[in-house]
Amino acid sequence: MEMKYRICIAKTPARTKPVADIFFEDTQWAEVNQDGPELQIEFFPGPNHQPWHLSPAATESALQKASERLTAGTKTYRKDSLKKNRPN
C-alpha cells in the first residue's frame, strides 16, 4: 500500500522561525524546526495513538526532503509517495 506524504513550510506562533510539517495522508507525522543551533525533529503519534509503520528508506527520504526545503526557504507544496511498511 502506498502512503502519500506532503511537506508544508509554515510559520507558526509557537516557533521563532519557519517549520517543515510532514503529513502522511492527512495526519501530521513530524515537524522539522530551526529553533536550536541545529535542525530539530519533533515526532507525533500515529492515528489513534498507534505506532507508525514506515520503512527506514521512506522515513529518511521524508526527513531529508523536509530539511532541504526548510533550509532553502521553499514555500511551495509538494506531494510525494512513500510505501507504507505494514504487515498484511
pLDDT tens for residues 2-40?
Answer: 567 889 999 989 888 999 999 987 889 999 999 888 999
Range of the domain at 66: 2-77
Helices (H) and strands (E) counted in the chain, each on its own, are 1, 5
Q: What domain count does the chain have?
A: 1
Query: Are 22 and 55 a contacting pair, CB within 8 Å?
Result: no
In-domain check, residue 67: yes
Does the pLDDT of residue 77 top 70, yes or no? no
Amino acid at 23: F
Cell of 41: 525533529
In-domain check, residue 24: yes
Query: Are 10 and 70 a contacting pair, CB within 8 Å?
Result: no
Does the pLDDT of residue 87 top 60, yes or no? no
Measuring CA to CA, which residue among 17, 45, 15 is closest to residue 30? 45
In-domain check, residue 87: no
